[in-house]
């Protein structure tokens, strides 16, 4: 019922900016659905039946690296959201929200922003704090600009276009930046950028 509500409501309340192109309740078919429908974004319920939402997140990202995957869950515990981010999700929305309340976060995600509730962002900050003191890393202007674009949720293709370089160059520079920051994902880098006041 929730999915059907979104299918009917989102095109209307977004003024046509959001169109639902496909849906499934089968986590195992996520990758094939993404390949066939080529969406800009995929919403994945973490509590799908086996093999589960986390597998669906990872499969959707592997099927098309350009697709933004927003995980959803009715569970208030941020641990599930953190697991989804590790699996490749580019944001998280609480499923407890009314469908109409999802419009602004979804539009922000469509525009390339990383969408995370306060509790999830606080959990990310706690994880970063618990990792022990981080050495001071001095970034040059190019690295700071790349970090801002990553934190803004831009895809590799979008960042390459903004920087006027190839996607391969962006991937290489991102890998170098993540190593320098001693983080393992773009989401952790975004959290660091927010804490450092770069956004």
Task: Measure the CA–CA gap between 7 and 102, rounded to whole angstroms.
Answer: 12
Q: Are residues 88 and 106 in the same domain?
A: yes
Q: Give the model confidence (pLDDT) of 56-100 as tens digits.
A: 999 998 898 888 899 999 888 888 888 888 888 989 998 865 666
Three-state DSSP state, 123: helix
Q: Which of 82, 98, 127 is where one domain is finished?
A: 127
Q: What pLDDT is stored for residue 119 in this prediction?
A: 83
- Cβ atoms of 116 and 90 within 8 Å: the answer is no
Q: Are residues 61 and 143 in the same domain?
A: no
Classify 112 in phi/psi space as left (phi over 0), alpha (psi -120 to 50) or beta.
left
Q: What pLDDT is stored for residue 133 in this prediction?
A: 45
Nearest CA to 175 out of 143, 153, 140 is that of: 143
Q: Give the model confidence (pLDDT) of 68-80 as tens digits.
A: 899 999 888 888 8
Domain count, the chain: 2
- Cβ atoms of 61 and 82 within 8 Å: the answer is no
Classify 77 in phi/psi space as left (phi over 0), alpha (psi -120 to 50) or beta.
beta
Q: What pLDDT is stored for residue 14 in this prediction?
A: 81
Q: What pLDDT is stored for residue 166 in this prediction?
A: 92
Residue 46 domain boundaries: 2-127
- Tell me which residues of the chain have a pLDDT lower than 50: 132-135
């Amino acid at each position: 019922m929730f999915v059907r509500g979104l299918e009917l409501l989102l095109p209307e309340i977004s003024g046509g900016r959001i169109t639902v192109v496909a849906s499934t309740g089968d986590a195992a078919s996520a990758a094939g659905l993404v390949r066939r429908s080529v969406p800009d974004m995929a919403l994945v319920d973490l509590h799908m039946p086996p093999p589960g939402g986390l597998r669906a997140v990872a499969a959707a990202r592997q099927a098309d690296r350009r697709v933004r995957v927003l995980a959803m869950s009715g569970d208030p515990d941020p641990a599930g959201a953190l697991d989804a981010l590790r699996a490749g999700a580019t944001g998280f929305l609480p499923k407890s929200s009314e469908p109409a309340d999802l419009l602004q976060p979804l539009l922000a995600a469509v525009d390339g922003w990383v969408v995370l509730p306060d509790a999830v962002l606080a959990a990310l900050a706690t994880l970063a704090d618990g990792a022990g003191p981080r050495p001071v890393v001095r970034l040059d202007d190019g690295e700071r600009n790349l970090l801002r674009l990553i934190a803004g949720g831009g895809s590799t293709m979008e960042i390459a276009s903004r920087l006027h370089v190839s996607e391969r160059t962006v991937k290489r520079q991102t890998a170098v930046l993540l190593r320098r920051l001693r983080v393992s994902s773009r989401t952790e880098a975004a959290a660091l950028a927010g804490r450092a006041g770069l956004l």
